[in-house]
Amino acid sequence: MAHMRKEKSHAALPFMKMHGLGNDFVVIDARGDSRNAQDIVTPKLARAVGNRHTGVGFDQLAVITDGAGDAHLTFYNADGSLSAACGNATRCIARHIMDETGQTDLHLTTARGDLFAKDAGKGLTSVNMGQPQLRWNEIPLAREMETLELPIDGAPTATGMGNPHCTFFVTDAMAVDLPAFGAAHEHHELFPERTNVQVASLIGPDHIRMRVWERGVGVTLASGSSSCATAVAAARRGLTGRKVQIDLDGGTLQIEWRDDGVWMTGATMHVLNGALTADFLKAV
């Protein structure tokens, strides 16, 4: 898709629809546009586009702008709130830029920091999501405490991946009423910025079944940052090694916690190109 040119107010706004294991995204490629991402997409517009009945629908919306590296990425949740990180969207966008440019290694910048992506072969894309945040004030939590086992029923582990995560290890992830469970814990008082919630079960050596509730979104088929957080939590608790397979509702990710960060590898899909019409933009 060609880079966007600066458009006058309410002109049609091109977008791409992508997904990583069913974790779906609206992506606006605004490279070459002199505006900031927040001037292109407001929280109100993000909520309107995110409506699956009257908009397009997405788990996250991403805006690609020019940056210090190959591109800068800004992420919005379906409720219009900003998110510093989105692993599967980063992989989808990295694949798009690789296909466009022929590059096999990319340097992307986000509010999370510098992220590096590479072609993993066989159509798979890897991204280094950076080092996990393990201290209470980095995640952040409301007060000082150990993050390995929180004082919450079920003793979940807290992890930061540029966004906060709370991972519960359970006997059977499929038996959990995730809509009720996730909604109850997203707003827990220990998480001042709310939290993503994962329920995870060990199903074999270095093999995890995980389901996810994303803050500001709800139940999603997959989540890259949640998968990274769960892999880190499992390794810290001695349940697995540092390289694991995580099976999600939408498919499988390979996660490896290396010395240089947490690498995530999996498939991506560019579904379609479209445009938000001038009438839609004017009505928002």
Which pLDDT does position 85 carry in this prediction? Answer: 87
Q: Give the rounded distance of the alpha carbon of 134 from its chain centre.
A: 18
Which pLDDT does position 5 carry in this prediction? Answer: 41
Instruction: Evaluate whether 113 touches 100 at the Cβ level (below 8 Å).
Output: no
Diameter of the chain measured on Cα atoms: 56
DSSP the chain: -PPPPP--TT--EEEEEEEETTEEEEEEE-TT--S-HHHHS-HHHHHHHH-TTTS---SEEEEEE--SSSEEEEEEETTS-EES--HHHHHHHHHHHHHHH--SEEEEEETTEEEEEEEEETTEEEEE--PPB-STTTTT-SS---SSS-SSTT--EEEESSSEEEEEE-S-GGGS-HHHHHHHHHT-TT-TT--EEEEEEEEETTEEEEEEEETTTEEES--HHHHHHHHHHHHHTTSS-SEEEEEETTEEEEEEEETTEEEEEE--EEEEEEEE-HHHHHH-
Which pLDDT does position 4 carry in this prediction? Answer: 43
Residues 6+ apart with CB under 8 A from 42: 80
Domains with residue ranges and CATH for the chain: 13-129+268-283 (3.10.310.10), 157-259 (3.10.310.10)
Which pLDDT does position 91 carry in this prediction? Answer: 96
Going by C-alpha positions, the residue among 80, 92, 128 that lies closest to residue 225 is 128
Tokens of 125: 């894309």
Which pLDDT does position 1 carry in this prediction? Answer: 45
Q: Is 202 exposed, middle or buried (0-12, 13-18, 19+ CB in 10 A)?
A: middle
How far is it, in rounded angstroms, from Cα 29 to Cα 248? 28
How far is it, in rounded angstroms, from Cα 73 to Cα 35? 14
Per-residue pLDDT tens, the chain, 284 aa: give them: 444 444 445 689 999 999 999 999 999 999 999 899 999 999 999 999 999 999 999 999 999 999 999 999 999 999 999 999 899 999 999 999 999 999 999 999 999 899 999 999 999 999 999 999 999 999 999 999 999 999 999 999 999 999 999 999 999 999 999 999 999 999 999 999 999 999 999 999 999 999 999 999 999 999 999 999 999 999 999 999 999 999 999 999 999 999 999 999 999 999 999 999 999 999 99
Which pLDDT does position 10 carry in this prediction? Answer: 61
Which pLDDT does position 266 carry in this prediction? Answer: 97
User: How many C-alpha atoms does 7 have within 13 Å on its Cβ side?
Assistant: 18
- Helix, strand, coil percent values for the chain (each to nearest 5): 20, 40, 40
